Copies of this chain bind each other. A is one copy, B any other.
Amino acid sequence: MLSERALIDQIARRAQGTAPDLIQGIGDDCAVIAGPGNTVWLLSTDTLVAGVHFDLAWHPPRLLGHKAVAVNLSDVAAMGGAPRFLLLSLGLPATLSSVVTEEILHGLQESCRDSSCLLVGGDTVQSPVLTLSLTVIGQHTKTEVVYRHGARTGDLIWVSGWLGSAAAGLELCRQGLAAHADFSPLVTAHLAPTPRCRLGRELSRRGLAHAMQDISDGIATDLAHICTAGHIGARLEGDLLPCHPLLPPAAERLGLAPLDLMLRGGEDYELLWTAAPTETAAILALAEEMALPCRQIGTMVELPGVQLVQRDLQGTPTSVREIAYQGYDHFPANSL
C-alpha cells in the first residue's frame, strides 16, 4: 500500500489542469478559487473515521461533532481566511443509537454557531463504520491569503500553543488514564481541539506570516510541507519547542518521550508559520492580545530538509538530525 504522501502525490498528478479562476489546486491546506471582486473562496475537506481518528469508547459524541468541525476550520485558519459554509457527509452504522447521532449533530451545530459558519448541505449514508466527512468553504481577501510556499531564508519559525498535547491526550485515553483530572488539558486537546481561526486571520490581515499551515500530522511533517513548497529548509531548536507543563509528567506516566510527542504527534491543530525577524515584536503583541502563547522555535535556512538541533547548556550543538516527514502518517509503510 502507498504511503499517504505518495498517494496524495499521485492524486495531485492526476488532477492536473487549470482554470482562469483556480488560484491554488491540490497542495495547500485549501484550494483557492477567485470569488467576487477581490475575494477568494477557500475549499477543504477532512474526514474522521471511527477506530482510526476517534473511539466512541472515550470520545463524547458531542465533542466529536465539535472536533469534526474544528479540523476543517483549522485548514481555513491556516490560510488566514474566515469559515463561511460547511457540507456534511455522515456515514452511520445501522446499530448506532439515535442519541449518539443527535449528540454529534448538536456538537456540529454548536461549533457552527461559535464560528459563524453555516451548514448548507449534507448527505447521510449507511456505513459499517461511523464516518464524518466535512467540506468547508471559507472566504478571504485575495491579496491576504497565506500559502504554504512563501517562506524565505532567515525567516523565524513560529508556533501557537503547545506541541504534542493531542497525541499525549489520545494515549491517555487509550491507556484508560483520561479520567485522571491532572491531565485533563491534554485529554481536551485530543477530544476537542480549538482551531486557531482568529490568530490565522490576524496574522494574515497584519501581514505577519510569509508561509503558514496547521499542525495536523506533527510538526516534523507539517514543517516539511512548508520547506518542500518553498524549496527551502528549516532548522528547529529542540529546546525552544513548547509543551504544556503537564506533558512531561504525562509522558513519563505513559512511558513515552516528550520530544517524540512534540515532533511526531499529530492533531494539535495549532498554527505553524514563518515571518521576517523584524515582525517579532508585532507577533508577540498579537499573541498577548489573543492570550495565546506564540513561540519562535527555529529559523528557515537555504539547505533543504528539516533539521532538529539540540544543544548543551552552553549552547553548543550536541546533535543535528534530519526529521522531515517523520510525523504521523495515516498509511505508515509498515502497515503493508
A124 partner, pick from B11, B51, B123, B135, beta carbons under 8 A: B11
Residues of B within 8 A of A33 (CB): 85, 120, 137
Contact present for A120 and B15 (CB under 8 Å): yes
Contact present for B120 and A31 (CB under 8 Å): yes
A317 is an interface residue with CB less than 8 A from chain B: no
Chain A interface mostly helix, strand, loop or mixed?
A: mixed
What band does the interface of chain A fall in when counting residues whose beta carbon is under 8 Å from B?
Answer: 35 or more
A47 is an interface residue with CB less than 8 A from chain B: yes
Q: Taking CB as reference atom, which chain B residue is nearest A124?
A: B7
Contact present for A91 and B19 (CB under 8 Å): no
Residues of B within 8 A of A102 (CB): 10
Tell me how far the C-beta of A81 lies from the nearest C-beta in chain B, rounded to whole angstroms: 14
CA distance A14 to B11 in the complex (A): 35
Q: Taking A2-B101, A26-B122, A330-B126 as contacts, is the C-beta distance between A45 and B8 under 8 angstroms?
A: no
Specify which of A87, A88, A112 lies most central, judged by the most chain B CB atoms within 10 Å of its CB. Answer: A87
Tell me how far the C-beta of A241 lies from the nearest C-beta in chain B, rounded to whole angstroms: 27
A49 is an interface residue with CB less than 8 A from chain B: yes
Q: Taking A36-B34, A91-B49 as contacts, is the C-beta distance between A44 and B128 under 8 angstroms?
A: no
A121 partner, pick from B10, B44, B91, beta carbons under 8 A: B44
Specify which of A97, A105, A131 lies most central, judged by the most chain B CB atoms within 10 Å of its CB. Answer: A131
Contact present for B129 and A129 (CB under 8 Å): yes
A122 partner, pick from B8, B121, B126, beta carbons under 8 A: B8
| Chain A positions 69-104 with a Cβ under 8 Å from a chain B Cβ | 84-85, 87-92, 94-98, 101-102
Partner-B contacts on A (CB < 8 A): 1-2, 4, 7-8, 10-11, 14-15, 17-19, 22, 25-26, 30-31, 33-37, 41, 43-49, 51-53, 84-85, 87-92, 94-98, 101-102, 105-106, 108-109, 112-113, 118-129, 131, 133, 135, 137, 330-331, 335
